[in-house]
Structure 1
Amino acid sequence: MGADAEVVCPQIVPSLDAVLACSQLDKKTPDAVADGSLSSTMQQFVPIIRSGSFTDIGPRRFMEDEHIRIDDLCMHLGSMFTCPKPSAFYGVFDGHGGPEAAAYVRNNVNRFFFEDVNFPEASELNDIFLQGVENCLRQAFLLADLALSDDCSISTSSGTTALTALILGRLLLVANAGDCRAVLCRKGEAIDMSQDHRPTYPSEKRRVEELGGYIDDGYLNGVLSVTRALGDWDMKLPKGSASPLIADPELRQIILTEDDEFLIIGCDGIWDVLSSQQAVSIVRRGLRRHDDPELCAKELVREALRLHTFDNLTVIVVCFSSFDHQREQSGSRPRRFRCSLSAEALSTLNSLLETNDSH
């Protein structure tokens, strides 16, 4: 189950342009995000964070996926670190060309994302803190990319996609480089919180070609199935040069509301055979049955295997409240059934009860 890849205790981040772009997903609070009054919107709903994950090698000979779960970021980073609560961090790293790059990034998450970038501290969200977090996140991806180049133990042909999610109070921030995907469930509807960076995606294809790269049969320079990744230095131009293959993350964020039920983070082995909405429906049904995010992650992986995915599989499911809490918020109650008995049946039932009492 990949338990070694997990740090379970309660998360990562995006840009002011992305704030404005993604705030439209939250019809209740976009103005608050745009005009800088973020903290005033954070008091209405407090997520209750819990998560589960599951991994499977799939039909591949080697497992190249890595992931991390931190359900309490403040506790994980120590008492000297201050950030809005609740705080949590999750990441999925889908390696290629060997497992080295993905394992290296996962094993150095603390250093890349929080220590070397001087992650800002604040007890409440505000625009200055948000901008600092965004800058740190972008820097972390680039630091990890450069570290893969400098470490002689990592093959230059080894690389990894990376998707991270950070929760700070009610703010969900997703950063992505590659074709892992984060999907938010809002009242049963799937909302993509990331874009798959594949060579066939029009804006990525245009960027690649403008920088001298080419797309051959859906592959970047005829070799790689993604246009953004950490590592892969045998495909990148010298440091400081603009390269068709980049490590820059795309950032998206949203303000969570009572309608937001959970987040799915998965590698491309899931999305190759399932749509975002199909995955949300599977997890939602699972939560209604057993309210266990880890079991939901396992069920999603099993469904992808049943549909004959060709890749390694990694899924993280992050719940923002219990199913019972969502039911209370919606005002729904368990169904109660009434039945009526005929006079004859009622008389028979009373006779049986009296007989039992006499014994």
Structure 2
Amino acid sequence: MGIYLSSPKTDKFSEDGENDKLRYGLSSMQGWRASMEDAHAAILNLDDNTSFLGVYDGHGGKVVSKFCAKYLHQQVLSNEAYAAGDVGTSLQRSFFRMDEMMQGQRGWRELAVLGDKINKFSGMIEGLIWSPRSGDSANKPDAWDFEEGPHSDFPGPNPGSTACVAVIRHKQLFVANAGDSRCVISRKGQAYNLSRDHKPELEAEKERILKAGGFIHAGRVNGSLNLARAIGDMEFKQNKNLPSERQMVTASPDINTVELCDDDDFLVLACDGIWDCMTSQQLVDFLHEQMNSETKLSVVCEKVLDRCLAPNTAGGEGCDNMTMILVQFKKPLQSTEPTPSATEPEPSHDEPSSSK
């Protein structure tokens, strides 16, 4: 069967939700791929003042993306930096924490469960998108104790996942990204990229890869992975003389902080299956057009997936798994606490990139 099916799976997992500050819709589709490796999290009430949304695009398997969808937001919430009001540091630590948690006996056990044909916890059949219920984000302490067992020396999974998440707290938007999933905001109809696609040929990424003992061939790390940053992918993180942020492939996220304003129309998080087919501005324009006649945001997302789906697998573009979250801000945006310094987003000048 290879990496592509003989005909695409066009069934979609779609969802809508809202609170007093925002509303969201999401949709995901397996498409032409032989399996579904995307996952997501949409937690409207991470706490009383905060919403968390994330897109995770797995490669080499689905277990790491599902692991991130289940645990990353919990780690953000439980980190001591978050309690101190430092959301950015909490996000950064939580990305690295995913790699740590997936090692050892308990990491092996959790990944084994998430890799089952039928998830033992949710009953979700493989091939459908997996995401935690909002209730799973309950304020649980970090009790990730070391377990003895036959896999105590498990170094972590070779499959990996991108992670692109947005945390909305009062008028502040925090975006953390590792990989080539992307977050884009529409401000007065103009697309602004709030994340950077971490490709190996970028100068800073290339320098780190080479210093860690790797090489780049055909745009891929060691001729294999076309991402310079990801969670998991432990085979690229085995240099014992280097810290996590300096490995060939690192989970270290870029953190972008933006102050939201009344000019902001909506926020989009999507995996590269979307961006392979549309630039940031093309997607923003398409969304504005669709939202003029359709109020249900998940339906708007479904229309994007249908538009991007390729008629065949000849070209490669439009053949990937696709996941998209669309977030619309309720106005006026009101703040109840002082806002830290934030950066003004820059307009996007992106072009579609090659898929993994």
The TM-score with structure 2 as length reference comes to 0.70
- Match of residue 50 from structure 1: 23
Distance 1:229 1:7, change over 3 A: farther
Counterpart selection for 1:297 from 301, 311, 315 = 301
User: Gaps (5+ residues) in structure 1?
Assistant: 11-46, 76-84, 122-127, 327-359
How far apart are the structure 2 equivalents of 1:138 and 1:271? 24
Code of the aligned partner of 1:139: R
Distance 1:219 1:101, change over 3 A: same
Asked if the contact 2:26/2:323 (under 8 Å) is kept, the reply is yes
Matches within 5 A, 1:209-288: 209-238=210-239, 241=242, 242-288=246-292
How far apart are the structure 2 equivalents of 1:112 and 1:183? 24
How far apart are the structure 2 equivalents of 1:62 and 1:292? 28
Counterpart selection for 1:133 from 78, 87, 92 = 87
How far apart are the structure 2 equivalents of 1:282 and 1:189? 12
Distance 1:247 1:286, change over 3 A: same
Shift of 1:106: 1.1
Distance 1:110 1:48, change over 3 A: closer
- Match of residue 202 from structure 2: 201
Shift of 1:240: 6.5
Shift of 1:234: 1.8
Asked if the contact 1:9/1:70 (under 8 Å) is kept, the reply is no
More helix by share: 1
How far apart are the structure 2 equivalents of 1:51 and 1:94? 19
Counterpart selection for 1:143 from 85, 97, 118 = 97
Asked if the contact 2:57/2:162 (under 8 Å) is kept, the reply is yes
- Match of residue 41 from structure 1: none
How far apart are the structure 2 equivalents of 1:68 and 1:173? 15
User: Gaps (5+ residues) in structure 2?
Assistant: 1-11, 112-155, 312-316, 334-356
Identity in percent: 32
Asked if the contact 1:149/1:231 (under 8 Å) is kept, the reply is no
Distance 1:163 1:304, change over 3 A: same
- Match of residue 350 from structure 2: none
Q: State the aligned residue count.
A: 267
Shift of 1:199: 1.2
- Match of residue 188 from structure 1: 189
Counterpart selection for 1:319 from 320, 328, 338 = 328
User: 3-state DSSP class of the match of 1:289?
Assistant: coil
- Match of residue 2 from structure 1: 13
Shift of 1:8: 4.7
How far apart are the structure 1 equivalents of 2:46 and 2:288? 26
What RMSD, in angstroms, separates the aligned Cα atoms of the two structures? Answer: 2.3
How far apart are the structure 2 equivalents of 1:183 and 1:64? 22
Asked if the contact 1:172/1:256 (under 8 Å) is kept, the reply is yes
Asked if the contact 2:212/2:239 (under 8 Å) is kept, the reply is no
Cα deviation code 1:282-326 (max 9, x no counterpart): 11111111232211211111111147512100000000137xx89
Shift of 1:200: 2.2
- Greater CA radius of gyration, 1 or 2? 1
